[in-house]
């Protein structure tokens, strides 16, 4: 394999996906930010979840909010439903893997919260199950996905009308790269919209 060609090919594909995201995801991103900020201003919290690399993204983004993203400031209430091994294994063993997130939403969520599922395919059964549980409880749902959105954009199967950011790519790696970029942009926008940064921090 020519590693120089490989490097150039991967970089070119990444750049192309970034450009398509900029063209297509501005309005869905604004909708997501506004949804999260409205929830937080009313005392709600953000719940992130997903599988594999998306599980890592979930805890990464929750940490950016509960600890800090740009500068030190007041904590923002967020939680990743992917990190409690006792809960995950107990739910998986006793209730089934499809319920590992929905059961935690049932236990920890309340009306006005936002459940943010991360799924590159839009077809992860446990993410879809969590959305169903959230809707039943009056919890707003949102998604970061790709590959056309899967079940999340199919009128026959879509479980919710909430903000959905569909990365315009079928390559899992490129979708995941955009998910963490969009997720960190979300964290930065939340800090600014909630007035948690001084003017000079927000501008810098």
Kind and range of the H or E run holding 123 = none
Strands 114-118 and 140-146: parallel
Among 33, 52, 42, smallest CA distance to 142 is for: 33
Residues 103-114, mean pLDDT to the nearest whole number: 98
Which residue has better confidence, 48 or 156? 48
Summarised one tens digit per residue, pLDDT across range 134-144 is 999 999 999 99
- Domains, the chain, ordered by start: 3-203 (3.40.50.10490)
Question: Taking 90 as the threshold, does the pLDDT of residue 85 lie above it?
Answer: yes
Residues 83-110, mean pLDDT to the nearest whole number: 98
Q: Which residues pair with 79 in a beta bridge?
A: 47
Residues 3-29, mean pLDDT to the nearest whole number: 97
Alpha helices in the chain (DSSP H): 3-24, 26-41, 53-66, 85-94, 102-108, 125-136, 172-193, 199-203
Question: Taking 60 as the threshold, does the pLDDT of residue 119 lie above it?
Answer: yes
What's the pLDDT score for residue 28?
95
What's the pLDDT score for residue 167?
97
Among 88, 153, 148, 143, smallest CA distance to 119 is for: 143
Contact yes or no for 123/51 (Cβ under 8 A): no
pLDDT confidence band for 116 (50 / 70 / 90): very high
Question: Taking 60 as the threshold, does the pLDDT of residue 169 lie above it?
Answer: yes
pLDDT confidence band for 198 (50 / 70 / 90): low
In this structure, what are the phi and psi dihedrals at residue 100, rounded to the nearest 5 degrees?
-60, -30
pLDDT confidence band for 162 (50 / 70 / 90): confident
Question: What does the alpha-carbon distance between residue 174 and residue 172 come to, in Å, rounded to a whole number?
Answer: 6
């Amino acid at each position: 394999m020519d590693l120089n060609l490989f490097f150039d090919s991967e970089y070119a594909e990444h750049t192309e996906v970034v450009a398509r995201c900029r063209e297509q995801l501005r309005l869905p991103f604004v909708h997501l930010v506004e949804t999260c900020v409205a929830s937080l201003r009313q005392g709600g919290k953000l719940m992130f979840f997903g599988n594999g690399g998306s599980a890592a993204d979930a805890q990464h983004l929750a940490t950016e909010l509960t600890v800090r993203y740009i500068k030190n400031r007041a904590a923002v209430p967020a939680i990743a439903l992917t990190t409690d091994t006792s809960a995950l294994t107990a739910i998986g063993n006793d209730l089934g893997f499809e319920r590992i997130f929905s059961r935690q939403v049932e236990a920890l969520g309340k009306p006005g919260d936002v459940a943010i599922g991360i799924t590159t395919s839009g077809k992860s059964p446990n993410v879809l199950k969590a959305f169903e549980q959230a809707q039943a409880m009056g919890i707003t749902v949102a998604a970061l996905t790709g590959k056309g959105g899967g079940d999340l954009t199919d009128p026959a199967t879509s479980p919710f009308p909430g903000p959905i950011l569909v990365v315009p790519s079928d390559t899992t790696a490129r979708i995941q790269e955009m998910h963490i970029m969009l997720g960190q942009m979300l964290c930065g926008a939340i800090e600014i919209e909630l007035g948690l940064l001084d003017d000079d921090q927000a501008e810098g």
